[in-house]
Structures are given as C-alpha cells and as structure tokens.
Amino acid sequence: MKRIMFLFRKDVKSAFRDNLITYIMIAPIILSFILIMVMPVMDGTGLTFAIDNTVSEDFAVELQQYGKVERFSSINDLEKRVLLPDDVPGITFDSSYRILLEGNESEELIQLVGMVVDRVAHGESLINIKIDSMMIQESSIREYSAIIMILTSILLAGVIMGFNIIDEKETRAIHAISVSPVKMMDYVIGRGLIGIIFSLILGLLTSIIIMGFNLDWLMLIVVILVSSLLGILVGFFLGFLANNQVSGIAIMKVTMVPIVFTIIASFFTPDKWQWLYYPLPNYWTFQLVSDVIFRSYDSFKINLIMTFALNFGLLLIFFPLMKRKFRLR
C-alpha cells in the first residue's frame, strides 16, 4: 500500500507542479461548453432555402414552416448561393416556380424540395393529416454529447498516464523503480490510480456541464470507474510499446482511430451484425456509458460484466509482458 501511494503521490505532485491540473480542469469545461453551443444547431438539421425577390411574401412566410429561408435581391446572387458547397436549393418565380439546384444534390433532396414547393404553392395538404406526439421533449443529442465527452475523458486520462510511463522510460526512472521495492502490481495499481481519478474528475465535470445535476450519480460513478479500465489499458499499451514521445504519438494515432471508429460504426450497424463488435472492450464501454446516461438499465448487468471482463482480462494478458519489459518484480 505504501509503495502504491508513493507512486500515486509522485504523479499528483508532478501534475500540480506542471500545471497539469489546470489543464485537466479547464479543457473539459471548455469542450463541454463548445458542445452545448453547437448542440442546438446540430439538432435543427432541417433544410435551408434561398429565394429571390420574385417570390411573394406570402410564399416566403409559408416556406419558413419547412426550414430556414435566406433572401437574395437578384437571380445572380441566388445562383451564387446555390453554387456554394452546401446543398441549399434556390426558388424563383417566373410564371411558375423554378427550383434552382447545383446538380450534385441527392435524389431525396431534389424530390423533397419539389414536394415542399408544391405544398406551399397550393397552400394546403392533399389529404387530412393528423400529428400525434409521444411527448419526448428532448432529442438524444445532449445524451450523445455527454457519452462522447465521458469516453473522451477516459481515453485522455489513459493517454496522459501512458505519456507519464514513456517519460519514466526516457529518463530511465523506470530502471530506478525496478531496483526499488516497488513490485509490478504496485506499479500497475499506482499508475492506474491516477488514470482512474483523472477519468472520474473529467467524466463527472463534463456530465454535469452537459446534462446538469439530474444524473444517476451512484451509477455514473460506478460506470466511470469501470470504464476507466479502458483508458488504463490504452495508457499501458502506449507506455509498453513506445520508447519516446514521438513513437508515443504514432502509437496513439494507430490505437485511437480504430477505437473511435468501431464505436461510431456500431452505432450505424444493424442489430443482426452487432455480434461483430462483441470481442471489443471499447464497444461494451460505450454501451455501458450509454446505459447510465440514458438511464436504460435493461442490459446494464451484461454491459458492466463485459466491460470489466474484457478490459481487465486484456490488462491481465498485458501484465506479464509489462513485467518483463519494465523488469519489475
């Protein structure tokens, strides 16, 4: 225990000395606030229309029921707007409505704009349409932003831990540790502690900023603690393979892209193909964090077990390899 606390205190001291604590606290706050500002924009993923002054005011007002409307004073300006990289159709009037398109829009968009113009021009629907609501007031974008930030915090904490190990290798402090009474288990736990604490601080801070205080606190703490094993795994992987910071960044890039990509891919993969992701610890970590943020606990137990088992299992596999490489007892 003394040896573990020695390593932990060493990391904490250097974090305070190097102002790392400041960056740890400020960066997720800034990031979370940026996400909060962008969320409403992303949530309103409707259409934008561009019109010129040949379109009547009544038409323009009605068109606003279907999306944003940008107004231009001439057909030339309207055409310039349509030709910008984004897909904004132009509408002008000359005995009938002309829908101006660049030519690279999707078929769905082309048809949809026609449908909208048709409806607005006629002023009424072809058939009686009733709208019912399930009264779910918020989209999931806030929850997904929180999940992304928690996972980012966990991985970031792991990367910092990994670079601390690389630092010890570069300065040969690891050799000094290897001839000290510190054992491999002490080293793993001591190093892992800082990773866990950073993950917890960052994860909780970002969750509060994005989701507010209406959180399942106990479950969230448990989930972050268990999920932090993924960050620790990444950190040890980095520290094990890289001999200096330059190779550390190279390995970090090679590791992070597949980790992040598989999470994104699993989101879009149909249920019948989800089994492809089952051997991956990051997949289960994502599911676990999603459970607690969405407060959907149907599969919580299995997600918790798999997250712990896969991350801890891989750490156990790594353990003898690290012991040999770092020459710890």
Query: In this structure, which amino acid lies at residue 174?
Result: I
Q: For residue 139, what are the contacts with CB-CB under 8 A and spacing of at least 6?
A: 43
Identity at 115, one-letter amino acid code:
M
45 contributes a contact to other proteins by CB under 8 A: yes
Which residues in 151-180 contact other proteins (CB under 8 A)? 152, 156, 159-160, 163-164, 170
The 4-33 site mask, x for binding other proteins (CB under 8 A), equals --------------xxx--xx-xx--xx--
CB of 329 to other proteins, least distance (A): 28
Amino acid identity at 101: L
Smallest distance, Å, CB 1 to other proteins?
27
User: Rounded to whole angstroms, how far apart are CA atoms 237 and 157?
Assistant: 13
Asked whether position 131 contacts other proteins by CB under 8 A, the answer is: yes
- Is residue 216 a contact point for other proteins (CB under 8 A)? no
The binder of other proteins chosen from 114, 181, 279, 313 (CB under 8 A)? 114
- Per-residue binding string, other proteins, 247-266, x by CB under 8 A, is xxxxx-xx--xx--x---x-
Q: Please state, in angstroms and rounded to a whole number, the distance separating the CA atoms of residues 98 and 90.
A: 8
Shortest distance, position 312 Cβ to other proteins, whole Å: 26
Virtual torsion, Cα 272, 277, 278, 279, nearest 10 deg: 150
Taking the complex as a whole, how short is the minimal distance between the CB of residue 27 and other proteins, in angstroms?
4
Q: Which residues of 13-46 are buried (b: 16+ CB within 10 A; e: fewer)?
A: eebeeeebeeebeebbeebbeebeeebeeeeeee
Residues 220-249 within binding reach of other proteins (CB under 8 A): 243-249
Tokens linked to 232: 């620790």
- Laid out side by side, the sheet with 47-51 consists of 67-71, 47-51, 90-94
Complex with other proteins: residue 40 or 313, whichever CB lies closer? 40
Query: Does 76 sit near other proteins (CB under 8 A)?
Result: no
